[in-house]
Structure 1
Amino acid sequence: MKTVICSLILMLFGQQGVAQSDTAWAEKTPSIGAIENIPHGLQSKTQLEHLRTIGEALFTAQFTEKDGAGRPMATQAIIPTKPRRALRQTFARTSGLDANACSSCHNQPFDGGAGDFVANVFLSEGFNNHDFDTTDPEFSNERGTNHLFGSGLIELLAREMTVDLVSQRTRALSNARDTGSAVRVALITKDISFGHITATPDGMVDLSELDGVDTDLVIRPFSQKGVMTSLRQFTVNASNHHHGMQASERFGVRWTGEQDFDEDGYENEFSPADVSALVAWQASLPAPTVWQPSDGAWQDAAQIGAEHFDDFGCTSCHRTALPLNSLHFYDPGPVDAAGTLNQHDVAKPAIYDLSQLDWVKSLERNEQGQVMVPLFGDLKRHKITDPENELLGNELFSQRFVGRDIFMTAELWGLGSTAPYGHRNDFTTLDAIIRAHGGSAKSSKDSYENAPEKQRSEIVAFLKTLRIEVAE
């Protein structure tokens, strides 16, 4: 499949990005540089499919040193950082490089999916501990690979929720100024509570009662700690960390003052247009579905299990679905920080109308016409361990100042296709990962543990129907 895609791109675009004088041209990835300029404006279905073809080719491409893979004088840190010494080896399972292709880890059950334990990655906060050669948790956090299916809908939900929360803060400040008194408001968006804020007439905001969101009120829906704002940020981070393919929007001369920050002899390894193609493909991956088993007994058990899942309080965090107002995906997005392009950095962002995609038409809508995104999550961080149950508290580093025992609610859609489980991929059964819950999930976990074996089995039967089903 990769050969077919790359051949198609060569026919469509010629050998852009391939040095004609290089006798080793066949070892370069033809999909890099297949489009020269970042897309802008509303994209037709044909234009979107065109971008998706290139994005898929980039996602499955095996990057080589002829493309600029490798970073001898740059670390895996999310901000451009020089190592204390040049890297002695190209590949390292600890701090990377650790993969030739994005699909080396994201492949279960299809390209764009999750990864088994063998595909775990090691990451630190990226500011101090970027030169390490051990898997000891004292130096890094070990994480499993999440799937990307439905991720465009996830980002759209996060953007709408961010707008809601920021608007509530703005109104609170306005009311406090008008009334001359402190105003305490509940932050609620899409029926999910993120605590309270108190605005005062002098323009100050007390943020001490926030719950599950950063102080800037930006919902960051990606990564198991909920610290990545967008698919674009994730792509720029991961391409440097895992492949040593450096996006010019962060590692180029504008931010680092150097044309070749990692000093590997290659400039502009990933252009903004390359990143845009990768984002377009990821954002348009189909949402996982609820699979219908052919076995009648399984069907009956799963239906009852869904009821138990709700009765035990699991849906208080793993919300069955959240409403989405708009299917227009803007790239670059509105709230990314410096080092990742956002809407303020371009004259006009690209707009991908996801409603043009066939799989979107199967999603349910509520009475208000909103798309119901069946994510089984809430895009909120929760404390997930307690003194009685610390199985999920095995990280020693906080990430972006998020507590070590706090994690983003895992979206369960696709769960039946992406074993093993847990943020470290070290639970082999659904029963085990449910029993590992503590903290905010303690009461639901207790209900599960105290239930008859038949009811527990029915919940597992239900969870195993949440699958990634892509025929093509």
Structure 2
Amino acid sequence: MRSLLAGATLTLALVSSAVAGDPPWAERTLTDPLDLGTVAREGDAAIDALITRGGELFGAKFTTLDGAGRPMATQAIVPTKRKRPGANTFQRTSGLDANACSGCHNEPITGGAGEFVGNVFVSEGFESAEFDSLDPQFSSERNTNALMGAGLIEMLAREMTAELHTIRQETLRKARASGEPVTEHLIAKGVDFGSITAAPDGMLDITKIEGIDSDLVLRPFSQKGVFVSLRQFTVNALNQHHGIEAVERFGKRWTGADDFDEDGYKDEVSDGDISAMVAWQATLPTPTRRQDIPESWKAAAAQGEELFGKTGCAACHRPSLPLDGLVFTDPGPSDMAGTLNASEVDTPISIDFARFDWVAKLPRDEMGRVLVPLFGDLRRHKIADQRNDRLGNELLAQRFVARDDFMTAELWGIGSTAPYGHRGDMTTLDEVIRAHGAEGADAAKAFEALAEDDRSAIIAFLKTLVIEDSEKVGQ
């Protein structure tokens, strides 16, 4: 069955902080369910209203009257029943663990990162629906990532996925045509993902693929790189952290029930409301560089940026990646069952990022492509080993990603998002740089070998990469 979701179809009148008919002091937070298929397409004004609605939902403190809580469901991303209600509604390790999305994403502004106190505990919830141990055998403790520039990140990931799939298809074609095995490197936007070998009979050797799943779908979100889209991330997080269940995963289509968690509230978050939250997150401006600094700092930062490349840090933390297109669509093309996919809707919403002032300010290459200044490569790397396992602080696998493999952290905004490390247990940039092992060991050693002033210059450079208020950036 195809969803009624259709285009950029939202009127400003639908954006309201109170449910229709409720008094202004009502304790419900969610507005009436948003069905994008019932209103006419209205261009940029509708998109602006959709984004506004998403911002309201992101900052909303959900109440039990909204459906917050999941007495008979676990935090698992696959709808999973409990045998009996949990002893506590709120519990830090297994959730509920927050009232609002902004409860964790708030440093230095809403949509940003989180301090150590906002750490979350990641567990699929299949073996233990409820647990109260901080032992890493039970859950992986994670610091909150910033969402700034997330829409551009997702668009980069989609384009890189398409490039890798094209290489795979062409490798198979060459093998069939030649009657011989053909090996091709998997390089997308200059990032190396290893290689594949195709046999004439169509068999693929995928053992040399690196830093990505064997399906060659780039999953840019989460510290392990396991979520393909902001939509998947949002549906997962609403259930885990708030007990708010999206219809597209927990509704009748997949579970046979309209109140899967048995909290007395049906169809808690509509497809349209998820799209609103996605639109708001996707259009958060990119981090920028501090300009209001003394000349001595500017000089040190310029020196530090040069040393950042010479020490090898930029091999993974690439200063920028080129983006061909600027139209973000939701739902996206790569989501699987339980998260709405573009093929399941009549017309995805479409947001042209070219109209945002902060996008116009981004640099472009000689081909006219926007250079997204993420300081990352959207790839997994082994970052801990026996000699230096400080960043290998997890015991549980997540979606079969190796324990010591993590996505390269995007460093844009790093000057605003202390603490550092996957667990947020490192208080300085110097500390987290030295903690790099395995594939990052050579860069860490090169940093340690620098003179103190040179190390200080790299820190000065990183401290200029900041998140600013959207009004200052120019949304």
Deviations 1:401-425 (A, max 9, x none): 0011000000000000000000100
Deviation at 1:468, TM superposition (A): 0.5
Q: 1:31 aligns to what? A: 31
What is the distance in 2 between the residues matched to 1:40 and 1:307?
A: 52
Q: 2:7 aligns to what? A: none
Q: Name the CA shift for 1:399/1:30 in 2 (closer, same or farther; >3 Å).
A: closer
Q: 1:121 aligns to what? A: 120
Q: 2:273 aligns to what? A: 274
Deviation at 1:334, TM superposition (A): 0.2
What is the distance in 1 between the residues matched to 2:53 and 2:274?
A: 10
What is the distance in 1 between the residues matched to 2:217 and 2:363?
A: 27
What is the distance in 1 between the residues matched to 2:75 and 2:427?
A: 30
SS at 1:260 equivalent: coil
What is the distance in 2 between the residues matched to 1:181 and 1:163?
A: 25
Q: Name the CA shift for 1:381/1:265 in 2 (closer, same or farther; >3 Å).
A: same
Tell me the amino acid that sits aligned with residue 223 of structure 1.
S
SS at 1:347 equivalent: strand
Q: Name the CA shift for 1:19/1:294 in 2 (closer, same or farther; >3 Å).
A: closer
What is the distance in 2 between the residues matched to 1:371 and 1:234?
A: 25
SS at 1:378 equivalent: coil
Aligned-residue Cα RMSD (Å) equals: 2.0
SS at 1:163 equivalent: helix
SS at 2:137 equivalent: coil
Scaled by the length of structure 2, the TM-score of the pair is: 0.94
What is the distance in 2 between the residues matched to 1:287 and 1:118?
A: 25
Q: 2:303 aligns to what? A: 304
Q: 1:466 aligns to what? A: 465
Deviation at 1:25, TM superposition (A): 7.0
Q: Name the CA shift for 1:10/1:44 in 2 (closer, same or farther; >3 Å).
A: closer
| Structure 2 contact 12–46 (Cα < 8 Å) conserved | no
Deviation at 1:44, TM superposition (A): 2.7
What is the distance in 2 between the residues matched to 1:243 and 1:157?
A: 29
Deviations 1:126-152 (A, max 9, x none): 432333122221100000000000000
SS at 2:422 equivalent: coil
| Structure 1 contact 39–349 (Cα < 8 Å) conserved | no
Q: Name the CA shift for 1:327/1:40 in 2 (closer, same or farther; >3 Å).
A: farther
Mapping 1:83-94, distance limit 5 Å:
83-94=82-93
Worse-superposed segment, 419-428 or 119-128: 119-128
| Structure 2 contact 365–371 (Cα < 8 Å) conserved | yes
Q: 2:435 aligns to what? A: 436
Tell me the amino acid that sits aligned with residue 31 of structure 2.
S
Tell me the amino acid that sits aligned with residue 29 of structure 2.
T
Deviation at 1:471, TM superposition (A): 5.2
Deviation at 1:47, TM superposition (A): 1.7
What is the distance in 2 between the residues matched to 1:368 and 1:23?
A: 55
Q: 1:61 aligns to what? A: 60
Mapping 1:42-121, distance limit 5 Å:
44-121=43-120
Tell me the amino acid that sits aligned with residue 109 of structure 1.
P
| Structure 2 contact 93–132 (Cα < 8 Å) conserved | yes
SS at 1:80 equivalent: coil
Mapping 1:59-458, distance limit 5 Å:
59-458=58-457
What is the distance in 2 between the residues matched to 1:42 and 1:224?
A: 36
What is the distance in 2 between the residues matched to 1:172 and 1:166?
A: 10
| Structure 1 contact 18–25 (Cα < 8 Å) conserved | no
Q: 2:6 aligns to what? A: none
Tell me the amino acid that sits aligned with residue 411 of structure 1.
E
Q: Name the CA shift for 1:293/1:244 in 2 (closer, same or farther; >3 Å).
A: same
Deviations 1:233-271 (A, max 9, x none): 000000000000000000000000111000001011000
What is the distance in 2 between the residues matched to 1:41 and 1:200?
A: 51
SS at 2:64 equivalent: coil
What is the distance in 1 between the residues matched to 2:12 and 2:441?
A: 57
Q: 1:3 aligns to what? A: none
What is the distance in 2 between the residues matched to 1:325 and 1:371?
A: 7
Deviation at 1:219, TM superposition (A): 0.3
Deviation at 1:153, TM superposition (A): 0.2
Seq. identity, %: 57
What is the distance in 2 between the residues matched to 1:209 and 1:284?
A: 36
Tell me the amino acid that sits aligned with residue 27 of structure 1.
E
| Structure 1 contact 42–351 (Cα < 8 Å) conserved | no
What is the distance in 1 between the residues matched to 2:224 and 2:272?
A: 28
SS at 1:299 equivalent: helix
Q: 1:4 aligns to what? A: none
Q: Name the CA shift for 1:263/1:351 in 2 (closer, same or farther; >3 Å).
A: same
Q: 1:13 aligns to what? A: 14
What is the distance in 2 between the residues matched to 1:98 and 1:214?
A: 30
| Structure 1 contact 293–465 (Cα < 8 Å) conserved | no
What is the distance in 2 between the residues matched to 1:356 and 1:398?
A: 41
| Structure 1 contact 43–352 (Cα < 8 Å) conserved | no
Q: Name the CA shift for 1:197/1:41 in 2 (closer, same or farther; >3 Å).
A: farther
Tell me the amino acid that sits aligned with residue 95 of structure 1.
S
SS at 2:346 equivalent: coil
Tell me the amino acid that sits aligned with residue 439 of structure 2.
S
| Unmatched 5+ stretches in structure 1 | 1-8
Deviations 1:345-388 (A, max 9, x none): 10111111111111111001101000000000000000001111
Deviations 1:28-53 (A, max 9, x none): 014352x3225999873222211111
What is the distance in 2 between the residues matched to 1:277 and 1:40?
A: 14
SS at 1:167 equivalent: helix
Deviations 1:281-331 (A, max 9, x none): 000000001212421111100000000000001110000000000010010
Worse-superposed segment, 131-140 or 222-231: 131-140
Deviations 1:191-248 (A, max 9, x none): 1100000001111100000000000000000000000100000000000000000000
| Unmatched 5+ stretches in structure 2 | 1-9
Q: 1:5 aligns to what? A: none
SS at 2:26 equivalent: helix
SS at 2:221 equivalent: coil
Q: 1:6 aligns to what? A: none
